[in-house]
Amino acid sequence: MKNLSILGSTGSIGLSALKVIDSHPERYRVVGLAAGKNVDLLLQQVEKYRPRAVATLEEESAERIKQCLKGKIALEVLHGTEGLKRLATLEEVDTVLSAVSGAVGLVPTVAGIEAGKNIALANKETLVMAGPLVMDQARRRGVSILPV
């Protein structure tokens, strides 16, 4: 079974990935979910997939999630770049789907590579900003960069 963190779970690529996971629940498990501002959809995803941790970009969104899930579902709720990095480096994660928009995807993607995670990359900005460095690090760590 592959354990996944999906950075950008409420966007079109994240939603498509979750459909694939739904079609093959015996092959994939969602360990981490991250979203920008669509807290309502992220809450629905948390209830369905029961990840170990979630992250949002803004602290206020993370606090809202904590309040909504208080006493219902126990999980780690994070925010900001550090939250995304944490999801990309969770011990049980095999593959990180990096599908967040813009430059924000670079830091968690590199952190995932450094942690030895395979990367399913749907964030072109990461390669535009630091392609040679990212690819060299992936080669040195022996991880795959899979284009999505």
The rounded distance, in Å, linking the Cα atoms of 143 and 62 is 30
Mean pLDDT of the region 2-12: 97
Provide φ and ψ at 30, rounded to 5°.
Answer: -85, 120
Residue 33's nearest CA partner among 147, 25, 101, 17 is 17
Q: What is the DSSP string of 69-95?
A: HTTT---EEEEHHHHHHHHHH-TT--E
pLDDT digits (tens, 9 = 90+) for 56-73: 999 999 999 999 999 899
State what percent of residues in the chain have pLDDT above 70.
Answer: 100
Range 120-143 average pLDDT:
94
pLDDT grade for 101, boundaries at 50, 70 and 90: confident
The model carries a pTM of: 0.94
